[in-house]
Amino acid sequence: SNTPVKVAVTGAAGQIGYSLLFRIASGALLGPETPVALQLLEVTPALKALEGVVMELDDCAFPLLHSVEIGDDAEKMFDGANAALLVGAMPRKEGMDRSDLLSANGKIFTGQGAALNKVAADDIKILVTGNPANTNALIAKENAPDIPAERFNALTRLDHNRAKAMLAKKLEVSVSEIKDLAIWGNHDDSMYPDLYNTKVGDNIAADLVDEAWIKDEYIPTVATRGGAIIKARGASSAASAASATIDHMHDWLLGSDEIVSMSVPSDGSYGVPEGIISSFPCRVKDGKYEIVQGLELNEFSKERILASAKRLQDERAAVEKLGLI
């Protein structure tokens, strides 16, 4: 029989958690053959609500769900974990500025990085969804010196999926006809979807649309989609964020035939400075990813990519100043 894969999820009682856990337990993350052991971390006051979520998980009678553990101690919940989905973070409250948010959330990721370093399995893969995702992933990585750096990723797959869906809608084609689309940079409004290397059938996407549409409509609409959802739904994107989290970790574990967007530690490719976790087009196979090499970037793309990388360098400087890395 298959041994279960241990998947740790933080912020499990939150909005994203409520969608994520049921998809994982039904087999969307690991495929239809592999049982999963869930290890769910929350803050103490949320454990009661999390017990309710576990009752519902039980009530689904998922055949692949081997076990569920919950707790507020990171070293216990990360023990032996093969994959960690770090979703839990503090939302920005009224009166908090960006540096307050970096500081409050940064402390979560110093502790969780250290705990992963101590107790996770040797093959641990870590994906940070909680915002500011790229810099939180950097903080966790810097606090986990024994885990190979490339095991720390951040989520830009939601931006990737949004960009793909929006382009498909504009061109009136199926999303499956769009290939090689990638998001570059930070998961914030500076992220850059490159349509100059995106293929739609035999065409390049940028040849099928006006340049003005790309610059004035498409890029800003993708970048501000999160805000548009809050306005419409009265709450931030949750099911789509959970779906993207699963897409990213699924492809990292099991591979993909397509180029996907992953925020990974920069190796200096395309002039993106080392020392930050930035989104790149990646290929994934056999549990390993590679940044796609040899792409031609036009001046506009280069400018936008480096501008987004600059945001990440500034965030890095801010958390260095706070003593978090």
The 146-185 contact track toward ligand NAI, x by CB under 6 A, reads ---------x--x---------------------------
Nearest-angstrom CA–CA distance, 266 and 288: 15
- Name the phi and psi angles at 188, rounded to 5: -150, -170
- Return the residues of window 80-139 that contact ligand NAI according to CB under 6 A: 87-91, 108, 129-131, 133
Measure CA of the first residue to CA of the last residue in the chain; give whole Å: 42
187 is catalytic: yes
Residue whose CB is less far from ligand NAI, 39 or 82: 39
- Name the phi and psi angles at 152, rounded to 5: -105, 115
Question: Among 10-18, 28-36, 114-122, 317-325, which window interacts with ligand NAI (CB under 6 A)?
Answer: 10-18
Residue 77 contacts ligand NAI per CB under 6 A? no
- With a CB cutoff of 8 Å and minimum separation 6, the contacts of 276 are 134, 138, 265, 266, 309, 312, 313, 315, 316
Given the residues 66, 160, 187, 250, the one annotated as active site:
187
Residue 13 contacts ligand NAI per CB under 6 A? yes
The 15-34 contact track toward ligand NAI, x by CB under 6 A, reads xxx-----------------
Sheet holding 65-71, edge to edge: 65-71, 36-41, 5-10, 83-86, 125-128, 152-154, 260-265, 277-285, 288-291
Binding site residues, ligand NAI, CB under 6 A: 10-11, 13-17, 41-43, 46, 87-91, 108, 129-131, 133, 155, 158, 187, 236-238, 241
Active site residues: 187
